[in-house]
Structure 1
Amino acid sequence: MRGTERRARLLAALELGEIDVDDLARRFGVSASTVRRDLQHLSDTKAVRRTYGGAILAGSPLETTLDQRLAIDGPEKQAIARAALALIEDGETLILDAGSTVTAFGRLLLDRRLRIITNNLALLPYLARAPGIDLIVLGGGLRATSMSTVGPLAVDALRRLTADRMVTSADGVVAGRGLCEASLDQVALKSAMMAQAGDMIVLATAGKLGRAEQMAWAPLPRRWTLVTDARASQAARHALTGAGARIVVAEV
């Protein structure tokens, strides 16, 4: 496991509370000294506060960057992206949201014939050179952690457009509550995307199901599709099916 991925997983573990160095070392299959170096690196960047034998988050749950999220669960995200590709037909208009799994999905569209509306700036270098893609970019304020645009300008532009489907992800997916995100700007734009699209596809690894650490929520429509990986528990699948989800399980 690379250092970037390991440190991102450390932050995710610490969101659940204080964790012992030896426990973390066993979890990640590395030495305790490696974990201490990672924690010191995170402490130097003010992400965590060291304690005797471990660490805790320095403040509210820390949002990882797009590069950090791309490093986590890479095979699962690629499998989810491939499974979602089978749900898309040429000639459709898609709204693509930000996020690492949506970015993995968007990179698979280069030989498709589609109109794409997106706030996902990380995808622009790929989609701009695809001959079959008619690309519409939503303006707005820059959200550097996800390399995306958000805010009133993005929402206002989106209200002038419609799409066959939207493809999105989230920090958490919770039955009965919806999609969990770090900011109100994010959920305002997601809700606008839902309103302008005929169908909704959520791409989420198993670890996102049931997560509710962030403070902002976008309620889900009555019917939607979830593409997740095979690690998703039967209990989580059952709860989300009851919340209107059609579930597609991607095999790595």
Structure 2
Amino acid sequence: MTSEDALPAEKLTPRQQQILAIVQQVGFTTIETLAERFGVSAQTVRRDIIQLQASNFLQRFHGGAGLASGGIRSAYAQKLTISPEGKQRIGAAVAQIVPAGASIFLDVGTTVEAAARALLHKPGLRVVTASVSVAQIFCHHGIFDVVVTGGITRGANGSLVGQATIASIMGFRFDHAILGLGGFDDDGAPMDFDLEKIAVRQAAISRARNVLALADSSKFDQSGTARIAAPEAFGLIVTDAEPPARLREGWQRAGTAWHVA
């Protein structure tokens, strides 16, 4: 396969996006494991991995795939290329929803970072975050009274996880928890791949009066390793495109609203 066959992130198939997300979370996975997960042949998975390597997203190894090294784009840089305009619209919608003076928790992820940028000029916000990248967005604009939880850094976006992170969150009460996610379960429940990040999100949900989940349309056909919470735990899901029927039906049953930015 030549460089002419390389695809940008937004052109990857849903299965290729999920393979990439799995590798980003666990570092390495086997072809056999992926074939069993997706219910396809090993040859089908192998073709996906070859395409992903040609597009500089991961590295093919004997029997599997792992994180790329050297000059190949980082997972975080890849995510920045996915639906940037959609994420901006989601961020602008969040800024319309969150009132001045609100107490908010901001999660990790490029979509949440777009919301943080949209909230920069909202007066009087009291911000708590488990993301070093989100804190830097505010600091770069001269806003320094942002609470950053303790914890262990995880990933290129400066995610903070662990018991110190959870203990810090449990000391607050939020008007809004603004959360990212990796995909959706069959009933519309938000999911993710990293159990420690899920634990941080669950703590924020338990301390928030209202929970917003942010998801660009690339997440509609993705799932995850575990559920963040049941659909009814989320007051609103903000997206950049009309979600498929199965998600709408699940959210309707749970009484969860959604907004297309």
What TM-score comes out, normalization by structure 2 length?
A: 0.74
| 2:133 counterpart letter in structure 1 | A
Correspondence for 2:169:
158
Opposite residue 86 of structure 1, the aligned amino acid is Q
**Contact 2:10–2:83 (CA under 8 A) maintained in structure 1:** no
Secondary structure of 2:147 counterpart: strand
Among all aligned residue pairs of Structure 1 and Structure 2, give the percentage whose two residues are the same amino acid: 22
2:75 equivalent among 54, 65, 68:
65
Letter in 2 for 1:107: R
Specify the code of the residue in structure 2 equivalent to 1:71: T
Q: Which residue matches 1:127?
A: 138
For the residue of structure 1 that corresponds to 2:118, the secondary structure is coil
Q: Which residue number in structure 1 is paired with residue 149 of structure 2?
A: 138
Matching residue of 1:96: 106
Cα distance in 1 for partners of 2:187, 2:14 equals 23
Q: Unpaired runs of 5+ in structure 2?
A: 20-37, 68-73
**Local SS of the residue matching 1:123:** helix
Task: Compute the displacement of 1:136 (Å).
Answer: 0.4
SS in 2 for 1:110: coil
Matches of residues 204-243 of structure 1 in structure 2 within 5 Å? 204-209=215-220, 211-212=222-223, 214-220=224-230, 221-243=232-254
Question: Structure 1 residues 235 and 216 mapped into 2: Cα distance closer, same or farther (>3 Å)?
Answer: closer
Q: Residue type of the partner of 1:248?
A: H
More strand by share: 1
Change (3 A) 1:39 1:10: farther
Say if 1:111 and 1:130, in contact at 8 Å, map to a contact too.
no
Report the secondary structure of 2:168's partner residue.
helix
Residues 5/168 of structure 1: CA separation in 2 closer, same or farther (3 Å cut) = farther
Give the C-alpha shift of residue 122 in structure 1: 1.0
Q: Are the counterparts in 2 of residues 210 and 236 from structure 1 also a CA contact under 8 Å?
A: no
What is the alpha-carbon distance in structure 2 between the residues aligned to residue 88 and residue 242 of structure 1? 25
The residue number in structure 2 matching 1:39 is 53
1:185 maps to a residue whose letter is E
**Structure 1 segments unaligned to the other structure (5+ residues):** 25-34, 51-55
Q: Which has the higher helix share?
A: 2
User: Is the contact between residue 174 and residue 210 of structure 1 (CA under 8 Å) also seen in structure 2?
Assistant: no
Match of 1:6 among 5, 8, 19: 8
Contact 1:96 1:118 in 2 (8 A): yes
- The number of aligned residues is 225
Residue by residue over 1:205-248, the C-alpha shift from the partner in whole angstroms, topping out at 9 and shown as x without a partner, is 12313522x32322134451001122422342222222231111
CA RMSD of aligned residues (A): 3.2
Measured at CA, do residues 172 and 37 of structure 1 come closer, stay the same or move farther in structure 2, by a change above 3 Å? Answer: closer
State the Cα distance separating 1:176 from its structure 2 match.
Answer: 3.8
> Whole-Å Cα distance in 1 between the matches of residues 184 and 51 of structure 2?
32
Corresponding residue of 1:148:
159
Tell me, in whole angstroms, the C-alpha distance in 2 between the residues paired with 1:57 and 1:7: 20
1:57-90 per-residue CA deviation (whole Å, 9 max, x = no partner) reads 6269xxx722211110111111111112111100
